[in-house]
Amino acid sequence: MNFARGARAAVLLLAAPALSRAIESSKPAETPAIPALAAPLPALEAPLAEVSALEAPAAAAAQAVPAATAEPEARSAQAQEARQVSALPRPLAKTAYRAISLLSDGSRRTTELELPEGTPESLAQAPLSQTPARAYTASPSDWRDEIFYSIVVDRFARSVSAGAGVRHRRRTLATVWSRGGRRRPRTQLSLLRKRARAQVRPRPRRESARRPGAQAGLSAALQSGAIGGAGAWSDPEDGNSRHGGNLRGIIEKLDYIKNSGASTLLVSPVTLTVPEAYHGYAPLHFLAVDPHLGTMADFKELVAEAHKRGLRVVLDWVINHAGPVFEYKDGSRWSGLEGPAKEIGEWTNLPRPLELARPENFTRRGEIADWQDSGQATHGDFPPNYRHLATDTPPTQDILVHIASWWIQETDIDGFRLDAVRHVAPGFLAVFTRRVKDFAANLGKSNFLMLGENSTGVDGEIEPFLEQGLDAAYNYPGYRRDNHALHAAAPTRQLEDSVLKTQFTFGRATGRLLRFIDNHDVYRFLRDGEATGRLLTGLAFLLLSIGTPLLYYGTEQGFRQASRRLDAEDSSEPADPRNREDMFADGRFKSESSAGDKFDPQSPIYRWTARLAALRRRFPALARGQQWPRWSDPNGPGLYAFSRIHGKEEILVVTNTADEPRSATMFVDGALTPAGTPLVDQLDGLRVVVQAHEGGGSVVTVAVPPHGVRVFAREP
């Protein structure tokens, strides 16, 4: 018996450093109006303040050139800027956005996407209110009480109701330009065949992602219009294509999400992106919802309907880059941080708001070649052409703060998931989080969530971001350490040591870290051939251990990864797109585990998830309590036991990762749970009585079946 484990944990916890929140905390008297944006940015007045100014770019550029009496250096710099501004493409009518996609063979495809009348084009058309114009939903008092449910919109649910899905301009639905610029209109079918020869952003994927005969079936579906809303970019059997999931589909499944026990929706990016980026991480228009997913009205309705059910909505937000908005004059190769920034040769997709369409809003250093180089990480473009925003400059910061604040004002969302925070400029997060949270507080959202994503495996590389203003962060280091033990491929002592290491680094902030066992960037928890019982213990660890739990869509239905790999994802065996299968019944990117209608409330795993979530809501210690180790096996799979303590409440959780029954005698807190105290398993009613230990303290003997879980609380 390892009675000494609790004493070891106590020493480490007492040594845990308190996290510093060393950022500016003063709140201006009137926060909503972003001062730097109260008037148009001076440099934008001529060419970019209004869409109509771009009708004559050459004239606008000429006006921007300084008088001959100016200094030669200033004349040269401003003339170069004017030339780049003049290269901006002419915009369409107010209700359409022209998205240009660069194919791997050098040709281009243009898709004109219809937007609702009144969609803002500039910050002037998206003003921030000095005073709240309506009642907003208050923030939760403590985000540790929440259970997140992460959704990839394109893959989760599809509604075929009127208004759902993309609106294309049929006349110019798709046009391809050759390298020489000659226009060649294409039908949907011919474009589809061309795409088969030249995939957009090719990436390694399993051959099983496509089934024989898929091409013919897809052609027929496109011609008949059977594929709802995904247009010419949809191949329902290609994991890197659009599949037609939409916002209205999520609205129709809100009761399913709530009944699973989840309380907060984490929605993948919904801003307008290049059509081929089904995932949403290549934004072009930061003030519009992607028509493939629905409309701004649909998103507002989603938030409102979620709030009616007591659900929160956190929006995944791309903060460090835009999509493929321009091409460099001399290619995308990394140029280093010394010397002038690279020159823009052509604006391929005019970013919105129009204030962003200036060279100075982008770092323009080329694509990242070395991901371990900090300078490239914070200044380089994501390959192949996601252009890095200049988050180190105040004018760009002002624009990004305004955009984020406007989305809160317009939609009533409850938080942002900030993607890839390690790629923003040092110091930017402190500015962004403070100003946006101040704006939200003025609307009545005093605890607006800022959740950061950094996929590092090192605890110390996450801690600084919490100090810069993040409220929570993904616990990637814990996930990497825990994975083998949860799959019975390592001793359960690894779970104990992992939690202790997290607590030592983050102290009481440990509870604010987002715990997960899978997500859209890593493998599904269940692997091929693995016993379902592994997932039952994994879910118990997720929902009952310290940290704020995140469920990934489909895990509650037992979705599996077509792999047996437990190490980190590798280019030879990537996690996506096979970890992003369709959940809706008529989806065609499926496997045996995801086949059919997977919104099954009678599924054993769904019901198990709901039971664990109910326990977490019932006992505050399971959400807010500190965690103390009680037992772990140093030699292999077996028991992992811990107590969650909050106030005068102790809950003892015992899990078994082994394929056979296990039992052990373990300590509990002698003051909170003295000898003679009856404890009852909240899952099956088993009753045990705490005994006195001959050396002092209190112990209890627990037997757990294979892949079993026990949750003991004091008998009422």
3-state helix/strand/coil string of 73-111: HHHHHHHHHHHHHHCCCCCCCCCEEEEEEECCCCCEEEE
Share of the chain above pLDDT 70, in %: 77
Q: Is the confidence at residue 422, as pLDDT, over 50? A: yes
- Residue 353 corresponds to which tokens in the numbers above? 């708001």
Note the maximum CA span of the chain.
94
Q: Is the confidence at residue 78, as pLDDT, over 70? A: no
Predicted confidence (pLDDT) per residue in 160-191, tens digit: 875 555 543 333 333 333 333 333 333 333 33
At 153, is the secondary structure helix, strand, or coil? Answer: helix
CA atoms within 13 A on the CB side of 426: 5
Predicted confidence (pLDDT) per residue in 263-302, tens digit: 999 999 999 999 999 999 999 999 999 999 999 999 999 9
Please tell me the chain's helix, strand, coil percentages from 3-state DSSP, rounded to the nearest 5.
30, 20, 50
Torsion of CA 57, 63, 66, 69, to 10 degrees: 140
**DSSP tag of 234:** B
* pLDDT of the residue at 164: 57
* pLDDT of the residue at 165: 55
Q: Is the confidence at residue 345, as pLDDT, over 80? A: yes
Query: Residue 104 — very low, low, confident or very high, per pLDDT cuts 50/70/90?
Result: confident
Q: What letter represents residue 504's amino acid?
A: F
* Helix (H) / strand (E) containing 622: helix 621-624
Average pLDDT over residues 364-388: 96
Decide: 584 and 158 in contact? Cβ < 8 Å.
yes
Q: Is the confidence at residue 150, as pLDDT, over 70? A: yes
* pLDDT of the residue at 163: 54
* pLDDT of the residue at 527: 96
Average pLDDT over residues 88-100: 65
At 188, is the secondary structure helix, strand, or coil? Answer: helix
Query: Residue 694 — very low, low, confident or very high, per pLDDT cuts 50/70/90?
Result: very high
Please confirm whether the linkage preceding 577 is cis (ω < 30° from 0): yes
Q: Is the confidence at residue 227, as pLDDT, over 60? A: no
* pLDDT of the residue at 232: 61
Decide: 415 and 315 in contact? Cβ < 8 Å.
yes
Predicted confidence (pLDDT) per residue in 198-211, tens digit: 333 333 333 233 23
pTM: 0.83
pLDDT: is 245 or 163 the higher one? 245
Q: Is the confidence at residue 25, as pLDDT, over 50? A: no
Q: Which of 594, 609, 612 is nearest to 156 (CA)?
A: 594
* pLDDT of the residue at 116: 93
CA atoms within 13 A on the CB side of 522: 23
Share of the chain above pLDDT 90, in %: 73
Q: Is the confidence at residue 509, as pLDDT, over 90? A: yes
Q: Is the confidence at residue 49, as pLDDT, over 70? A: no
- Residue 308 corresponds to which tokens in the numbers above? 């009616």
**632-655: b or e for each residue (b if 16 or more CB lie within 10 Å)?**
bbeeebbbbbbbbbeeebbbbbbb
At 539, is the secondary structure helix, strand, or coil? Answer: helix
Please give the Cα distance from 146 to 617 (Å, whole number). 9
Predicted confidence (pLDDT) per residue in 634-653, tens digit: 999 999 999 999 999 999 99
At residue 14's C-alpha, the angle toward residues 13 and 19, to 5°, is: 80
Query: Residue 610 — very low, low, confident or very high, per pLDDT cuts 50/70/90?
Result: very high
* pLDDT of the residue at 503: 97
* pLDDT of the residue at 103: 84
Q: Is the confidence at residue 10, as pLDDT, over 90? A: no
Decide: 43 and 358 in contact? Cβ < 8 Å.
yes
Average pLDDT over residues 74-92: 45
User: Which range, 23-27, 96-100, 213-217, 438-442, is most confident?
Assistant: 438-442
Residue that has been written with the tokens 């083998």 in this structure: 484
* pLDDT of the residue at 92: 42
**DSSP tag of 460:** G
Average pLDDT over residues 464-481: 97
Average pLDDT over residues 514-533: 97
Q: Is the confidence at residue 33, as pLDDT, over 80? A: no
Decide: 598 and 560 in contact? Cβ < 8 Å.
no
